[in-house]
Amino acid sequence: MTSTTDAPAASDATSGVLTHRQILTILGGLMMGMFLAALDQTIVASAIRTIGDDLHGLSVQAWVTTAYLITSTIATPLYGKLSDIYGRKPFFLLAITLFIIGSAASAFSTSMYMLAAFRAFQGLGAGGLFSLALAIIGDIVSPRQRAKYQGYFLAVFGTSSVLGPVVGGSFAGASSILFVSGWRWVFLVNVPIGIAALYVVWRTLNIPHTRRDHRIDWQGAVAIAVGLVPLLIIAEQGRIWGWGSDRAFACYLIGVIGLAFFVYVESRAGDDALIPLRFFKVRTFSLTSVVGIVVGMGMFGGISVLPLYLQIVRGASPTQSGLLLLPLTAGMMTASIVSGQLISRTGYYRPFPIIGTGLMVVGLALMHGIGAHTAFWVTALYMVVFGFGLGNVMQPITLAVQNAMSARDIGVATSSATFFRQMGGTLGVAVFLSVLFSTVGDNIKSAFGKAAQTASFQTAIQDPNVLHDPRNAQLLKLLNSHGTVSSSALNDTSFLKHADRRLAEPFFVGFSQSMDTVFVIGAVVIAIGFVLMWFLPAIPLRTTSGLQSRTDDARAAASAAQPAPASAPSASSGESAVGRPAPGAALDS
C-alpha cells in the first residue's frame, strides 16, 4: 500500500488534527462546489415553466428532472467508492468539470428531450458535488463538532435559495440577454461559477490520503444502471404507455433482473463492491437507507409541484414564485441551525429526525387544503412547517450514518446514504408529476362543468369582448370541447397569463385539485418514514474526525507490526460497526 499526500495546508499529518483555520480553508473549496449544485436546483426550478412553454413540452418536464436525477443517482456511489480508493480531490474536480460541460450544453437545447439528455450529462457531475463534500466534512470535522461549522454551509444554501429564484426568474422573464434567450442563461451562469469553483478547490482542498489497493466494481455500476433506469422510465411514462402495457411490463422485468444481478455481483465483490453488503449489517445504515428512499420520495415529489402551483394557479412570475418559496427555506435553515447546535451540545441526534418527519407529514397534509383562492400567508405557514421538518431530518441522518461507520468507509457510506435519498427523490419526482399530469385533465374538465353553471362564467362567455379576444382562444377551445384538455394546452400554459380570469378559473381549480392529490400521497409516503425513524439506534457521537481516526488506525497497525515488549500486553481495539478494528468508531446495536 502506497501513501500519497496532497500536501495539506499546514496540517499536522502525524496526528490528523486540523486547526480551525485549516478547516476553514478547505471549507472554502467545498462551499464553492456545493454552491454550484445548490444554485442549479433553485435556479432551474424557478424557470422550468418558462423553459417548458418555450420548448413546447411542459407536460414532459419530468424527463428533464428525471434524467438529471437518474445519472446523478447512479454516479453518486461511484464517486464515494473511487474517492475512498484514490482520494477526494481529483474526483471533486472531475464532478465540477462534468457539471460545467453539461450546463453549457443544456443552454443550447432546442427541445425538452435534448435538454433532458444534456441534463443527464450534467447529472454525472452533480452526483459527486454533494456526496463528496459531505464525505470531506466527515474527514476533517468530528460528528460532535460539525455544528460549529454548519453555519457556513447554511449560508451557502441560504444564499442560493435567495439568489436562485431571483436570478433564474430574471433570466426566464427576459426575452433575450446578449442575443441569447433569457432562460438559457439559467444554465450558462453555471460556467463562470464552475470555473471559479475549480480554481478554489484545486488550491484549497489539500488533505492527506493513503491510497487503498482495490479493484473498481464496474460490474456493480452497470448492474445498478440496468436495474434503475427502466424502473425510473416507467415511473415517468406509465401514464402514457399504460401501467400494464407490454412496454411497462418489459421495464418491470428488466429492472427487477438488473437489481437482482446487482445484489449478486455485490455479494461476490466483498469489500470491493460499489455498496458493500456488509454495510447492511449495521442497523443505522440499513434503516437510514430505507428511510432515505421514503423521505426522498415524499420530499422531492412534494416540493416539485410547489413552483407549478405558485406559477400556474396563483399566477406568479418565475422570480415571484422563487421568492414565494422562501418561507420553506427559512423553516429549513432555522431548524438546521437549532438542531445542529442542540446535537453538538448533547451529543444525541435521534429525536430530531423523528420530529422532522412528523412535521413533514403535517406540512404536506396541510398543503392538501390549499386551492386556487387560498390566501398566500396560509400557504406560507404550511411551507414553514414542512421546511422546519426537513431541516430536522437531512443533516441528522447523514450524521448518523457517518457516526456509525468506520473512518475508512466514510466516503462510500456517505455517498450510499446520498444515493438512496436521491433514488427516492428520482422516483418521487417521476411518480408525483405523473400523477399530477394524469389527473389534471379530468379535474379541469370537471371544473369546467361546474363553472358553466355559475353566473360569473355565464356572463364571461356572453361578453363579446371576451369571445373575440385572441388571448382567450385556447380557453374557448377548451369550452367548445366540453373541457377536454389537449396535450398542447398542458405543454404550453403561457396563455393563462393574459386570459380572462373568469374563463381561466376552472383551469386553476383543476390544477390545484391534482396538486392536492400529490400532497396527500407525499404525506402518506413520509408517514412511513416517520414510523421507521422510531427504530433508529441512539449512538453517542464520536469526538474524532475521519482523518484523525484513520491516522490512529495507521499508528495502531504500525505498532502491531513491531514486536511488543514482554511486559506490555497489546491492547485490542473494539470491533467497529462494520466488523473491522476502528479506534474511535461507535458500535451499532
Question: Which tens digits make up the pLDDT trace of 272-329?
Answer: 788 888 888 888 999 988 988 888 888 777 777 887 888 888 887 766 776 788 888 8
Stretch 390-406: mean pLDDT: 83
Judged against a pLDDT cut of 60, whether residue 265 lies above it is answered with yes
Helical pair 326-346 and 394-404, crossing angle rounded to 10 deg: 40
Say if residues 58 and 490 touch (Cβ distance below 8 Å). Answer: yes
At 266, the pLDDT band (50, 70, 90 cuts) reads confident
Residues across the chain: 589
- State phi, psi for 536 to the nearest 5 degrees: -70, 125
pLDDT per residue as tens digits for the range 220-233? 888 888 888 888 77
Judged against a pLDDT cut of 60, whether residue 573 lies above it is answered with no
Q: For the chain, state the CA radius of gyration.
A: 25
Judged against a pLDDT cut of 80, whether residue 536 lies above it is answered with yes
- Percent of the chain at pLDDT > 90 equals 13
Q: Which three cell numbers stand for residue 94?
A: 472531475
Neighbouring residues of 178: CB distance < 8 A, sequence distance ≥ 6: none
From CA 482, how far away is CA 461, in angstroms rounded?
14
Query: Of 129, 143, 166, 147, nearest to 35 (Cα)?
Result: 129
Run of H or E including 176: strand 176-177
| DSSP-derived secondary structure letter, 12 | B
Weakest-pLDDT range from 159-168, 194-203, 481-490: 481-490
- Inter-CA distances, 550 with 3, 102, 407, 545, Å: 13, 36, 6, 9
Weakest-pLDDT range from 35-49, 446-460, 500-514, 563-577: 563-577
- State phi, psi for 301 to the nearest 5 degrees: -65, -40
Stretch 53-70: mean pLDDT: 75
Neighbouring residues of 231: CB distance < 8 A, sequence distance ≥ 6: 251, 252, 255, 427
From CA 16, how far away is CA 136, in angstroms rounded?
13
Position 487 scores a pLDDT of 54
Say if residues 71 and 221 touch (Cβ distance below 8 Å). Answer: no
Stretch 361-378: mean pLDDT: 89
Comparison of pLDDT for 177 and 91, the residue scoring more: 91
The mean of the pLDDT values for the chain is: 78
pLDDT per residue as tens digits for the range 406-450? 777 777 888 888 788 878 877 787 788 778 877 887 888 888 778
- Inter-CA distances, 548 with 295, 419, 432, 583, Å: 32, 26, 43, 10
Weakest-pLDDT range from 36-45, 308-317, 417-426, 489-498: 489-498
Tell whether the torsion through CA atoms of 280, 282, 284 and 287 is positive or negative: positive
Position 535 scores a pLDDT of 92
Task: Tell me whether strands 180-181 and 176-177 are parallel, antiparallel or unpaired.
Answer: antiparallel
From CA 252, how far away is CA 392, in angstroms rounded?
35
Tell whether the torsion through CA atoms of 115, 120, 121 and 125 is positive or negative: positive
From CA 240, how far away is CA 298, in angstroms rounded?
23
Position 9 scores a pLDDT of 42
Comparison of pLDDT for 145 and 368, the residue scoring more: 368
Domain ranges of the chain: 15-217+274-440+515-533, 218-273, 441-514
- The burial class, CB within 10 Å (0-12 / 13-18 / 19+), for 23 is buried
| DSSP-derived secondary structure letter, 57 | -
Say if residues 109 and 442 touch (Cβ distance below 8 Å). Answer: no
Position 150 scores a pLDDT of 61
Stretch 533-551: mean pLDDT: 75
Judged against a pLDDT cut of 50, whether residue 572 lies above it is answered with no
From CA 125, how far away is CA 118, in angstroms rounded?
12
Weakest-pLDDT range from 22-26, 58-62, 563-567: 563-567
From CA 506, how far away is CA 277, in angstroms rounded?
52
Judged against a pLDDT cut of 90, whether residue 498 lies above it is answered with no
Instruction: Please give, one letter per residue, the 3-state secondary structure of 275-336.
Output: CCHHHHHCHHHHHHHHHHHHHHHHHHHHHHHHHHHHHHHCCCCHHHHHHHCHHHHHHHHHHH
Query: Of 581, 582, 583, 580, nearest to 279 (Cα)?
Result: 580
State the alpha helices, DSSP H only, in 347-463: 351-367, 376-391, 394-404, 410-451, 455-461
Domain 15-217+274-440+515-533, classified CATH 1.20.1250.20, yes or no? yes
pLDDT per residue as tens digits for the range 461-475? 777 877 777 777 777
- Inter-CA distances, 287 with 134, 404, 407, 427, 536, Å: 19, 12, 20, 19, 7
Say if residues 472 and 503 touch (Cβ distance below 8 Å). Answer: yes
Judged against a pLDDT cut of 90, whether residue 512 lies above it is answered with no
